[in-house]
């Protein structure tokens, strides 16, 4: 069996970097979905909060949580 070519074989650091980036992208997507669900959620009366002060406040809190 021939030896692996070091030019084409990924190093351990490259594999860990790929996994770290993949994890961060996945986490960012989950946060985005959570924020969108909160933003477009129906209010207590069943009416959509889109474009209302309550919806804007919920979006602001979600954006603050994302920034932290």
Per-residue model confidence as pLDDT tens digits over 31-43: 888 777 776 666 5
Q: pTM of the prediction?
A: 0.51
Question: DSSP state, 7?
Answer: T
Q: How many residues does the chain have?
A: 68
Q: Is 59 exposed, middle or buried (0-12, 13-18, 19+ CB in 10 A)?
A: middle
20 Cβ contact list (under 8 Å, min separation 6): none
- Indicate the pLDDT class of residue 19, thresholds 50, 70 and 90: very high
Q: Answer whether residue 44 shows pLDDT above 60.
A: no
pLDDT the model gives residue 51: 65
Instruction: Count Cβ neighbours within 10 Å for each residue of 37-51 and write b for 16 or more, e otherwise.
Output: eebeeeeeeeeebee
- Indicate the pLDDT class of residue 18, thresholds 50, 70 and 90: very high
Q: Average pLDDT over the chain, rounded to whole? A: 75
């Amino acid at each position: 069996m021939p030896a692996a070519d070091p030019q084409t074989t990924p190093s351990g650091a490259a594999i860990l970097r790929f996994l770290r980036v993949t994890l961060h992208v996945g986490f960012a997507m989950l946060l985005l979905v959570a924020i969108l669900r909160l933003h477009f959620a129906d209010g207590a009366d069943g009416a959509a909060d889109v474009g209302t002060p309550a919806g804007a406040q919920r979006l602001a809190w979600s954006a603050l949580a994302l920034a932290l």
